[in-house]
Structure 1
Amino acid sequence: MQAMSGFDFDFGLNANPHQFIHQHTTSSKNTWDKFHSHPGMEFIYVLQGEGSAIVDQNIYPFKPGSLMYFQPFQLHRVKAYIPEKTFYIRSKLLLEPSIIDCYLQKFTDLHRFFQHLWHSNLSCQVIQSTNSYQFETLFTLYGSRQKQLELTEDFALFFLLFITTVKDQWNVQNQMERKTQLRHIHYAEYVMRWIDANYHEEFTLESLVKELHLSRYHISHLFRKATGSSITEYLTYRRLREASLLLRTTSLPLQEISNKIGFNNVSYFCQLFKKNVGVTPSQYRIKQ
C-alpha cells in the first residue's frame, strides 16, 4: 500500500520492545492510509504534511507540530494527504509500557501522567504543540543514536525527557482531576489484555469465557473478525515475544524461560519457537 524511505516499526518476535524512528518520510508518489493497532504505546510527531487520524469514532486533523498518541491495542486509522512533490515526515516512538513503567515510578507526577495515557479514557488523542522546538531538538539529538536507544536504560532516559515535554503540553487538568475511568474497549482488546496478564499461566478458553460471560464461539468469532487471527495464535505470539526478550536480556536456562511463558514442556517450547522464529532458542540466543 505504501513505499517508505528508511524503515518502519518492526512488530515481529525479534523486535525490540521500544523503538524510535526519526524523520520517517513518505513521498507524494506513495499513499499513507493505515488502519491497525499495536501491542504498545505509539506516539507520532508530525514534522511535515497534513491528514487525519480516526480513533474511537473521533476524527482528529493533524498538521506540522501535531502529536498523535494511540494506546496499546487501540484500533486507529492514520491517513496523510500528500500533494504532488511534497512529503509526509514524522518522528515516531513505540514502546511496551510495562518495560518503561518501572523507570518512571520514582517520578510521581510523570508516572501518574504515564499511567493516565496508558489506561484512561482520553478526551483527546491529537494535540497541537505549543513549542515545537522542544520536540524537534530532542528528536534531532537522539535521531543519531539509534543503536544506543536499543538499550532499555538509554531509551528510558530518552523517554523520560520526551514524556516530560509531552506532559508540559498536554491539557489533562480536567481529566486528571475527575475520577479516572477506563475507556470502553472492544472485546478483542479485552482478550489481548487478558492474555497479556495471564500468558504465563496454563491457558483454557473456559477461563476467558467465564471472564467475559460470552460463549466460546462468540469470543473466538469476535476476536478473529477484529484481528484476523485466532486467540491461540495471539497467545502463541505473546508467549514467544516474551521468550525472545528473555533470551536476549537474560541468561536463564531454557526450562525456566519455558515455565515463565506458560509451557511446562521445554521440548514443545523449543519446537514451537523454531517453527515460528526459524531457529532454536539456543541458536537465537547465540545470534544476539
Structure 2
Amino acid sequence: MNRIELFDLNTYPFSSVIRRTSELCDSFKETFHAHQGMELQFIHEGKGRLLIDQRSLDIRSGTLCLFQPFQLHRLQPEINEYNRYVRSFVLFEPTVFEPYLQSLPLLHSFYKQLCHGSLQAPILHPIGEEHEFVKTLLAFGEARIEAGAEQHREDAATFLISLLRQLRALLSDPKRLPLVSPRPAHRAEQMMQWIEQHYTEAFRLAALAEELHMSPYYVSHIFQETTGSSLSEYLKARRIRQACVLLTSSEQSVTEIGESVGLGNTSYFCRTFKDAKGQTPHQYRLQWKKSNV
C-alpha cells in the first residue's frame, strides 16, 4: 500500500482537485500517510477526526486543513447513509514555486514558515463557502501541471500567491484556531509519541507495552481500533517519511539513511521504500535532484 504521496510532484509539481466526494458506497479508507509537497484541503461537507502530530482534532464542514511536506496525518471522516465527505484541495511542491515569491519578501517569509516552520494550528475553522479563500480555490478549478509547462506553472504561481495572502490573514485570526477533541485517542497518541522518540531503533512491542503498563496484545488492539492502522504500518510510514527528508536534504548514502531511520538492512530498507514510494531510494534521490536543478 502506498503510504507516501499519491501524486508524483516531481513530474507534476502542482495539482488541484475540486469537490471530490466520498460516500458510503465508496468505502473511503485512508492510512497514515504523508506527501512530498504542501497540501491545503478544504472540507465542504463532512465531519470526523484528523490525527496529526500525535494529536486528535475535530473536523467538520468549513474546516481548512494544512499539511506540511512529509507530515504524517490521517483523516477519519464519518461516512454513512446520512453523511458524505466532500473536499477540495491543492497540492504543490514548495521549491518549484518559491522563486515566484522572491520579489515579495513578506509573503516569501510567510511561505517558508507555512511549508517548513512550526504551525500554531494545522486546521482552521469555520471558514465557510463564502470566504475568498474558498472562492479562489474553486474558481481556479481542477488542474495538474507538468514541471516543464512554464506558462501553466506561472498561472499556478499567481493562483498560489492569491491563496497565500488570504491564508496569512486567516492564520492571524484567533477565531479560526482549531478545537481540540476530548482526546478519545489518548492511549494511541501516547503510542505515537513513543514511536516518535524510538523509531530510529529496532522496534520492540514489549518495550512500548511496558512503558504504557499494558499488555502487548492490548497495545496493538487499541492502536488499530483507534487509528485504523497497525503499529507496524504507522512505524514504516514514519521511517519512510524521515528517509525522504534525508534523501532530499543530505548527502548521506542510502545505507547510512536506512540505518538512521531504523532500517539497518539495506536490502530490506530498499524493498520497504520501494513498496511505499514505487521507486528505490536511489531513484527517488535522482528524480528529486533532476526536478530541482
TM-score range, shorter chain: 0.5 to 0.7
Aligned-residue CA RMSD (Å): 3.8
Detail structure 1 runs of 4+ shifted over 6 Å in the superposition.
147-150, 218-227
8 Å Cα contact 1:148/1:154 also seen in 2: no
| Map of 1:204 onto structure 2 | 253
Q: 1:228 to 1:192 in 2, by over 3 A?
A: same
| Map of 2:19 onto structure 1 | 23
What is the deviation of 1:78?
0.8
Question: 59, 76, 84: which is aligned to 2:56?
Answer: 59
8 Å Cα contact 2:51/2:74 also seen in 1: yes
More relative contact order, 1 or 2 (CA 8 Å, 6+ apart): 2
Q: 1:223 to 1:46 in 2, by over 3 A?
A: farther
Instruction: For 1:132 and 1:75, locate their aligned partners in 2 and report how far apart those are by CA, in whole Å.
Output: 27
Instruction: For 1:12 and 1:72, locate their aligned partners in 2 and report how far apart those are by CA, in whole Å.
Output: 13
| Map of 2:156 onto structure 1 | 155
What is the deviation of 1:99?
0.6
Aligned length: 224
Q: Which amino acid aligns with 1:204?
A: S
| Map of 2:39 onto structure 1 | 42
8 Å Cα contact 1:37/1:76 also seen in 2: yes
Q: Which amino acid aligns with 2:168?
A: K
Question: 75, 100, 106: which is aligned to 1:78?
Answer: 75
Question: 234, 244, 247: which is aligned to 1:192?
Answer: 244
What is the deviation of 1:225?
6.7
Deviations 1:77-114 (A, max 9, x none): 01111231543111111111101111122222221121
Correspondence 1:143 to 2:141: yes
What is the deviation of 1:40?
0.8
| Map of 1:240 onto structure 2 | 287
What is the deviation of 1:169?
0.5
Partner SS state of residue 29, structure 1 = helix
| Map of 1:170 onto structure 2 | 171
Partner SS state of residue 21, structure 2 = strand
Give the alignment's TM-score, normalised by structure 1: 0.64
Correspondence 1:32 to 2:65: no
Give the alignment's TM-score, normalised by structure 2: 0.63
**Structure 2, unaligned stretches of length 5 or more?**
175-195, 200-237
After TM superposition, the structure 1 = structure 2 runs for residues 117-136 of structure 1, keeping only pairs within 5 Å, are 117-130=114-127, 132-133=129-130, 134-136=132-134
Q: Percent identity?
A: 24
Instruction: For 1:124 and 1:111, locate their aligned partners in 2 and report how far apart those are by CA, in whole Å.
Output: 19
Q: 1:132 to 1:171 in 2, by over 3 A?
A: farther
